[in-house]
Structure 1
């Protein structure tokens, strides 16, 4: 019989504060998307502004982990 090597994945440390912050912004994004998808007026100025803020914040979070 051939012996097979088992490879263990390296576990990266979990940053709970980062995960919590990302979760908050994900929830905000879902709420804005739901509002924009259910409103008959389509994309309004406030909705677009909120999406822009969320996008900028997510970019900042990405820079923080790189």
Structure 2
């Protein structure tokens, strides 16, 4: 995904509220940008809207617990 703007509406993920690993999510160009709350200087990665929806669906279905 090519990004021509920087997200300005970052918010902390509710799923990482009670953990030591926290991420922030911002909307950008029809998709999402994700960054590490503790290391904002490291930058962020972006996804398309379709990719983000699939990821959120998998989180809600608890498919990442091992």
Q: TM tier, shorter chain?
A: 0.3 to 0.5
Higher relative contact order (CA 8 A, sep 6+): 1
Give the greater-gyration-radius structure (CA): 1
The structure whose residues are more often strand, as a share, is 2
The structure whose residues are more often helix, as a share, is 1
